[in-house]
Amino acid sequence: MSHSASGNTTPDMPLAVKAEGLHVTRGHKKILRGLDFAMEPGRITGLLGPSGSGKTTLMRGIVGVQRLTSGSIEVLGRPAGTPSLRHDVGYVTQAPSVYTDLSVEANVRYFGAMHSASAADTAEAIAAVGLEALARRKTADLSGGEFSRVSLACALVSHPQLLVLDEPTVGLDPVLRAELWERFAAMAESGTTLLVSSHVMEEASHCSSLLLLRDGLLLAQLSPAELSQRGHSNDLEKAFLHIIQETSAASNRRSANESQVAS
């Protein structure tokens, strides 16, 4: 599953993701409002924000299934949704997309066939999520955490350069969450780029870079250490709340100044 050693990126390597002036509107509701950011390859980027902040819409835009109102997204140097990206981008939604009447192995083999994956690729993907002992078991008989890992294996079997994960740890117990983050770290170390969404701020510490979303706005892109410093707290949730308050205060001041100018 190796593409390049983590941290050994070269200047001619394209950014994993680059968004410029990204807007998405549904009806009269603005879902994403003018997002600009870039993701370096071979790292874990956390997409953090409360429910309704636009995380899933942004992820859908990156994998090319969300219509953009304006702006652009480039993925691995190509426009998002380019057909050639289908073999390079893996996407795991919140709802596991696997067949309950098939075994773990049969599910992974089925999704792998779409990418001409071999039997060795199937075995490697199953091993990567720690389900070797359950490979022949029907997914309907698995626990919730195991079920989620089958979806992850189905995404990994194509050896994606970019793996997009929409709240993959929701509903998992602390032990399973820790195991999953260890696997994400190993993937990044082998060269895979990961974008992982969450509304649990404690998970931010596992990421190299963070995108902080609220109400469709990108409040900041920074590292966990920078978040702690800017938010004046080692508690990342409190630090995020501080940035929200700081941003709201600045917005209110701008509005007040504009009102004075208008009058």
pLDDT tens digits, residue range 19-53?
999 999 999 999 999 999 999 999 999 999 888 99
Predicted confidence band of residue 3 (pLDDT cuts 50, 70, 90): very low
Tell me: pLDDT of 200 over 60.
Answer: yes
pLDDT confidence of residue 60:
96
Q: Which residues contact 34 (CB under 8 A, 6 or more apart)?
A: 21, 22, 23, 71, 217
**Does the structure show a pLDDT above 90 at 253?**
no
Tens of pLDDT, residues 91-135: 998 877 899 999 999 999 999 998 899 999 999 999 988 899 999
Could you give all domains of the chain from N- to C-terminal order, each with its CATH number? Answer: 17-42+49-88+164-171+200-262 (3.40.50.300)
Strand 193-198 vs strand 29-39: parallel, antiparallel, or unpaired? Answer: unpaired
Task: Inform me whether the pLDDT recorded for 13 exceeds 90.
Answer: no
Pairing of strands 89-92, 29-39: unpaired
pLDDT class of 4 with cuts at 50, 70, 90: very low
- What predicted TM-score, i.e. pTM, was given to this entire model? 0.85
Tell me how far apart the alpha carbons of residues 23 and 35 are, in angstroms, rounded to a whole number.
7
Per DSSP, the three-state class of 210 is: strand
